[in-house]
Amino acid sequence: MSAFSTAALGAATGLLLAAPQARAQAPEPPKASEPPVVQVSEEGFTLSSADKAFVLKLRGQLQGDGRFFLEDTDRTGTNTFIVRRMRPMLDGTLFGFIDFRFMPDFGNGQSIIQDAYIDFRPGEWVRLRAGRFKTPFGLELLQSDMDNPFIERSLTVDLVPNRDEGLELHGEGGGGRWQYSLAAVNGDPDGASTDANIDDSFDLVARVFALPFKGREPSFLQGLGLGIAVTRGLQFGTATNTGLAPARSTGQQVIFSYLSNAEPGETVTAHGQHLRLSPQGHFYYGAFGILAEYVRSSQEVQVGDARARLHHHAWQTAVSWVFGGKASFEGARPTRPFNPKTLEGGALEVAARYHALDLDDAAFPRFANPARSVSNAKGFGVATTFVLNRRVRFALNFHRTNYEGGAPDGDRASENVLLSRFQLTF
């Protein structure tokens, strides 16, 4: 073999040996981006990346109510049809660990923002929420109104803070067997929501809730949940923003309000410490459900030179039974959705509730007018809900509430109200 042939052969061999290494070192061509995932179902409209790190959900809620007062000789209530709630909901996830929600409400003839918050979620056991959200306190209020067996919530919500702005550290562990919430918020009046802080102080909120038998034996105790919640803060109102709110009946009529006048010295305002305490619990097994809670609100108020610490109390017990389905805190779940062709499926939930609101006698007459504000309210209600599926419901309720005080000649007339609702959620 000639020298030239030998050299050529050596060069060719070297190129062959170097080729795999060159291929390994060469950059791979860029992969085509995976298309987004689009889903449309009863859960709403969902747009997400393939790895679910970015998710956008569009959902909604619509409640059309009827409210009719029976034996209302004093005409304290108005018979009406009303859009109780009309809420588009925008939920999402960013980067796999940041959740958010934006939920306005166009019901009741007004436009407000109910929820607007961001959740930083490094793990299930710890989350940090910032924005406007439900104050983690009342058990029934924390249950979605889409799932409550009653059209209107009980008298306990008259002493419960609703939605507020602030920070909340919350989470759960043990497979959902324990939950906790710690929040610093502006501070709501009893039974109300706020949009801004009216003073320089904040409310601290703490709540723990346990389902000790969830995922464990005995199985019939898996739906048992027990908890306690507290709030503590200083609240100081003004003549234009008192830091106090009226109490309402099941028919949404004002039954208690503090004295209010154009003159600053004649208007009752929050003035000092505000403490709340609420032991609470529920039990669900098969078709049966029971929910109970007690709320105590202690608040310092002032009018002119008079000051007092008022102690208000409320409690409720509600039981329910689901025919053709299962009861749960997340609402009645039919075994099979309703089929309009065969007229089969769906579920019927029947519920009963007894509840009471007791206002401090020391509120009268210096801080509230006994001829206009009741000192005690006790009510009984029954409810039937036709659950066609998880998203469509029709409900019919009757509630009777008896009062002490609240009228110039003694007791306010009892309220008898018939409520109806057609509800659609997606």
Alpha-carbon separation of residue 224 from 143, 148, 295, 324, 326 (angstroms): 15, 17, 20, 22, 15
Alpha-carbon separation of residue 303 from 161, 259, 268, 270 (angstroms): 23, 9, 5, 9
Q: Show the DSSP H helices in 94-175 as ranges.
A: 139-142
* Claim: this prediction has a pTM higher than 0.85: yes
Alpha-carbon separation of residue 17 from 5, 9, 22, 27, 300 (angstroms): 18, 12, 9, 19, 88
CB distance 348 to 332 below 8 Å: no
- Identify the pLDDT of residue 17: 43
Write the pLDDT tens digit of every residue in 250-268.
999 999 999 998 566 789 9
b/e 393-403 (16+ beta carbons within 10 angstroms → b): bebebbbbbbb
Q: What is the mean pLDDT of the chain?
A: 91
Per the structure block, which two tokens stand in for 277?
Answer: 């305490």
Per the structure block, which two tokens stand in for 424?
Answer: 């659609």
Q: Where are the domains positioned within the chain?
A: 35-425
Q: Any idea how long the chain is? A: 426
* 33 pLDDT more than 70: no
Q: Percentage of residues in the chain with pLDDT exceeding 70?
A: 92
Cis peptide leading into residue 365 (ω within 30°): yes
* 30 pLDDT more than 80: no
Give CA angle at 248 (246, 251), nearest 5°: 155
* 350 pLDDT more than 70: yes
* 273 pLDDT more than 90: yes
Query: Side chain identity at 423, as an amino acid letter?
Result: Q
Domain 35-425 coded CATH 2.40.160.10: yes
Query: Side chain identity at 409, as an amino acid letter?
Result: D
CB distance 63 to 41 below 8 Å: no
Taking CB atoms within 8 Å and a gap of at least 24, the contacts of 139-142 are 139/227, 139/229, 139/278, 139/280, 139/281, 139/282, 139/291, 139/293, 140/291, 140/293, 140/316
Q: How does residue 418 score in pLDDT terms, banded at 50, 70 and 90?
A: very high
* 24 pLDDT more than 80: no
